[in-house]
Amino acid sequence: MDMNRLITAESVTEGHPDKLADRISDAVLDAVLAQDPQGRVACETLITGSLVVIGGEIASTAQIDAATLARRVVRDVGYIKPEYGLAFDSCAVATLLRQQSPDIAHAVLRTEADDPYDRIGAGDQGIMFGYATTETPERMPLPITLAHKLARKLAEVRKDGSLLYLRPDGKTQVTVEYEGDRPIRAHTVLLAAQHAPEASLDDMRTDLRRLVVEPVLDGWLDERTQVLVNTSGRFVVGGPASDTGMTGRKIIVDTYGGYGSHGGGAFSGKDPTKADRSGWYMARYAALNVVAAGLATACEVQVAYAIGRAHPLALSVTARDPQVPPTALDRAVRRVFDFRPAAIIDLLDLRRPIYEPLACYGHFGRLDLDLTWEKTDQAEALLAAAKGP
């Protein structure tokens, strides 16, 4: 008999320095798209100590105040006092945004093409992955789903006043035990929560188990589950006062938590002409609909692009428990989904200011948001294409 296996995923709260950087970058992107849906943005943020640095390239008619946007995000997340690790009203913000390279702009916009969907080439080369599974209602792997829910709950009990000693920074990690492909229990739960200096570690461990872990992991905990809180002891100094934050350093948190694959590109601060944004969303949309159609219990879609080219260089589909031959499934995905960036942008309506809420708690499986790439409206078309001639 095969041994059970352990799969682990982590998430972070919105006050984690890297996630704060992601959110500022996406706030800049949303501000541009709100004024100029055709705007092109590649925005990176670095936060260290009390300094926020916003850099990158923009090609747009939009007029934005990036420093004001950054301070608003810092405030919304909860960094309102210097002792928290950052304060919105006293931090310094340096803005180093510039025009997009004309070489890149020319490569992306191919106005001579007859087909309008061939007029936008991929904004860069890269490999993107979509993944979906039947193991949760979100059609996401259970470990990352639980890790996100714990991180969100940590922020909730801080903001609603349930635990006044909590501060914005925090991380979660969940190890799930699987029997074959079926999750059966939470093996280990790990929380790291920034707190006020007067907080008692013993009280924190009791409070976080009662108010965070047990409500979120109801049904997955058993008498053998380890629940570990602040294993290093005190966590008073946090946020950017403790660790420098940068856009794009939580790419596994943003996707599938180590399940599936990753090509290395980040999402935040990038407009949808960047395949790192649109290609990932379309690959998830395709994999999700394969699973929703009952064609597999899990599916991974890989797509690769070259800068300036509209059509993908490669597309492959891998399925667990496929209900049709692999060639039929591959053919069906190619028939139903158009992976050219302009087609993706149009189908998924990506030129809208929708990205800041995605910067925390994942870009996929978000039942709290109405996301076009999370719809299963192509399942019937896929089923027909897979079983047809």
Q: Which residues make up each annotated binding site for L-methionine?
A: 57, 100, 243, 274
Least-confidence region, from 109-123, 156-170, 198-212, 331-345: 109-123
Check pLDDT > 90 for residue 329: yes
Domain-ending residue, one of 222, 238, 254: 238
Domain-ending residue, one of 190, 214, 238: 238
Q: What is the mean pLDDT of the segment spanning 329-338?
A: 97
Residue 181 and residue 131 share a domain: no
Check pLDDT > 80 for residue 140: yes
Residue 130 and residue 171 share a domain: no
Does the residue 17 lie in any domain? no
119 — pLDDT class (breaks 50, 70, 90): confident
Check pLDDT > 50 for residue 139: yes
Report the alpha-carbon distance of residue 192 to residue 154 in Å, rounded.
Answer: 10
Report the alpha-carbon distance of residue 357 to residue 70 in Å, rounded.
Answer: 15
Q: What is the mean pLDDT of the segment spanning 271-277?
A: 94
CA 203 to chain centre: 32
Residue 169 and residue 233 share a domain: yes
Residue listed under structure tokens 């690790």: 85
Compute the radius of gyration of the chain from its Cα atoms: 22
Handedness of CA 240, 150, 290, 353 (dihedral sign): negative
Q: What is the pLDDT of residues 214-234, one digit of tens each?
A: 999 999 999 999 999 999 999
Least-confidence region, from 113-117, 120-124, 359-363: 113-117
Report the alpha-carbon distance of residue 274 to residue 59 in Å, rounded.
Answer: 13
Residue 225 and residue 318 share a domain: no
Q: Which residues make up each annotated binding site for K(+)?
A: 44
Report the alpha-carbon distance of residue 122 to residue 299 in Å, rounded.
Answer: 24
Residue 371 and residue 347 share a domain: yes
Amino acid at residue number 350: L
Q: Which residues make up each annotated binding site for Mg(2+)?
A: 18
Residue 283 and residue 220 share a domain: no
Q: Which residues make up each annotated binding site?
A: 16, 18, 44, 57, 100, 169-171, 234-235, 243, 249-250, 266, 270, 274
Report the alpha-carbon distance of residue 129 to residue 244 in Å, rounded.
Answer: 28
Which has the higher per-residue pLDDT, 122 or 372? 372
Does the residue 190 lie in any domain? yes
Residue 165 and residue 130 share a domain: no
- Decide: 371 and 161 in contact? Cβ < 8 Å: no
Q: Which residues of 131-159 are buried (b: 16+ CB within 10 A; e: fewer)?
A: bbbbbeebbbbbbbbbbbbbbbbbbebbe
Least-confidence region, from 95-104, 195-204, 357-366: 95-104
Does the residue 42 lie in any domain? no
Q: How confident is the prediction for the chain on average, in pLDDT?
A: 95
Strand partners, 42: 57, 270
**Which pTM value belongs to this model?**
0.95
Q: What is the mean pLDDT of the segment spanning 332-348?
A: 97
- Decide: 302 and 316 in contact? Cβ < 8 Å: yes
Q: Which residues make up each annotated binding site for ATP?
A: 16, 169-171, 234-235, 243, 249-250, 266, 270
The CATH code of the domain that includes 180 is 3.30.300.10
Residue 154 and residue 131 share a domain: no
Residue 105's pLDDT is 63
Query: Residue 192 belongs to what domain range?
Result: 5-11+143-238
Does the residue 305 lie in any domain? yes
Residue 382 and residue 291 share a domain: yes
Residue 155 and residue 233 share a domain: yes
Q: What is the mean pLDDT of the segment spanning 342-357?
A: 98
Number of folded domains that form the chain: 2
Residue 193 and residue 299 share a domain: no
Domain-ending residue, one of 196, 220, 238: 238
- Decide: 157 and 151 in contact? Cβ < 8 Å: no
Check pLDDT > 80 for residue 319: yes
- Decide: 91 and 75 in contact? Cβ < 8 Å: no
Report the alpha-carbon distance of residue 43 to residue 48 in Å, rounded.
Answer: 17
Residue 378 and residue 293 share a domain: yes
Check pLDDT > 60 for residue 1: no
